[in-house]
A and B are shown apart, each in its own frame.
Chain A
């Protein structure tokens, strides 16, 4: 097991990319930082610059404008960087599938590593998703 990769799983700096969500998922993401869930004990912090990010949290359905921004954000992030799709919108566009301004789901723009469905997903579900992501990065079953 690579030491640097192991360190990565213990200190995930998260950049929050909101590609036109209804904002409900974003509020739920912020819940993770509150005392009840406190993800900082797992080394997870929210960072302001995408250059510092290890994980990209994507919420919402990309539209024509945010699709380009999301692509750019992913290219700007230093690798290794994982992408987490949060909410039904980001996972599969739910009711916005046939909308006039939703050209594609998130995973056609950037490679998604974990899908966390829900509308919005519960904080517990997100932590469970992150735990699975950590296992995946470490290559465990």
Chain B
């Protein structure tokens, strides 16, 4: 009963979706203000979803029906699961289970996998281009992301559980305040930008060149689920980074402030950069970002 409540309502689905949609609005509004526009009202993203629910769902001819319809849900379910695990362990660090960092890492890749599945099952050339780009991007950012998390794990005495990682930071100060932590955080921020599919790493759904890429054939409910997944991720991934790097103070107010700070970083990067080509993005991730994450792992090993 409590599990279901956790999953569906409080740190899980409803809460994370609402926060994510509002964060999405903040993003749209700030973007608009930067371009001297007015921007949409705060309830815009909710209205968008509501509208998509009322639209017809079209399944393209020759597409694989089951995969096409189920792929978006795969992404949403795992994103919500991450939100639940994170939310519960942030409130009660002792309730985390062994190895949950690894579980979260796997689950956070699922939305990208669902994009790839959905895109390639929809029998559209542009969608397969989008799916293949997404695939390459996953290969690109997973390596530095895991490396930077490795630095945190080393710092907290090799524990792969959220609870000890949080406790270590509560007792000895945030990871961000140390050299390896700070370097790993910078690397992780770039990876987060790519995970969220924001500019400069939005090649997988570039609106102008490949017309929304992997989601090109989606309409109605499945499209709404994809957007909801995006929203939940926009809540979850920054929170995950905060839990790993910046968890010195876990009161409600501090968490909200930190979340907003990370959101501002995301929006700033998004609005001040052009889109990278896929080869540039790969070179970026496997070059400087991996090097940064690697250095932080080495520094952490030396116990700095």
Binding site for B on A (CB under 8 A): 2-5, 7-8, 10-11, 35, 38, 40-41, 43, 47-49, 51-52, 54, 76, 78-80
B9 within 8 A of A: no
Chain B CB within 10 A, most for which of A2, A11, A80:
A11
A4 with B51: CB separation less than 8 A: yes
Q: List 9 A-B contacts (CB under 8 A).
A: A4-B50, A35-B37, A41-B39, A48-B212, A48-B216, A49-B216, A51-B216, A78-B56, A79-B55
Identify B211's interface contact among A40, A41, A48, CB under 8 A: A48
B212 with A41: CB separation less than 8 A: no
- How far is B60's CA from A76's CA once the two chains are assembled, in angstroms? 9
A76 with B40: CB separation less than 8 A: no
Identify A78's interface contact among B41, B48, B208, B219, CB under 8 A: B219
B57 within 8 A of A: yes
- Report the nearest A residue to B49, measured CB to CB: A7
Across the interface, which residues of B come within 8 angstroms of A52, CB to CB? 212, 218-219, 223
- How far is B219's CA from A78's CA once the two chains are assembled, in angstroms? 7
B1 within 8 A of A: no
Identify B54's interface contact among A4, A10, A41, A51, CB under 8 A: A4
Tell me how many residue pairs across A and B have CB atoms closer than 8 Å. Answer: 82
B56 with A43: CB separation less than 8 A: no
Across the interface, which residues of B come within 8 angstroms of A51, CB to CB? 58, 216-219, 223
B47 with A43: CB separation less than 8 A: yes
- How far is B68's CA from A74's CA once the two chains are assembled, in angstroms? 22
B217 to chain A, nearest CB (A): 6
B54 with A40: CB separation less than 8 A: no
Across the interface, which residues of A come within 8 angstroms of B172, CB to CB? none
B79 to chain A, nearest CB (A): 21
B275 within 8 A of A: no
- How far is B192's CA from A28's CA once the two chains are assembled, in angstroms? 37
- How far is B55's CA from A5's CA once the two chains are assembled, in angstroms? 9
- Report the nearest A residue to B207, measured CB to CB: A48
- How far is B51's CA from A5's CA once the two chains are assembled, in angstroms? 7
B207 to chain A, nearest CB (A): 5
A59 to chain B, nearest CB (A): 19
Identify A5's interface contact among B32, B40, B48, B54, CB under 8 A: B54
Identify A54's interface contact among B44, B51, B212, CB under 8 A: B51
In the A-B complex, the 6 residue pairs with the smallest Cβ-Cβ separation, listed nearest first, are A4-B54, A48-B211, A7-B50, A78-B56, A78-B219, A7-B51
A78 with B37: CB separation less than 8 A: no
- How far is B57's CA from A4's CA once the two chains are assembled, in angstroms? 15
Knowing A4-B50, A48-B207 are in contact, say whether A40-B216 is a contact too (CB < 8 A): no
A14 to chain B, nearest CB (A): 13
Across the interface, which residues of B come within 8 angstroms of A3, CB to CB? 50
Identify A76's interface contact among B37, B41, B58, CB under 8 A: B58
B195 within 8 A of A: no
B242 to chain A, nearest CB (A): 30
A41 with B218: CB separation less than 8 A: no
- Report the nearest B residue to A8, measured CB to CB: B51
- How far is B21's CA from A127's CA once the two chains are assembled, in angstroms? 27
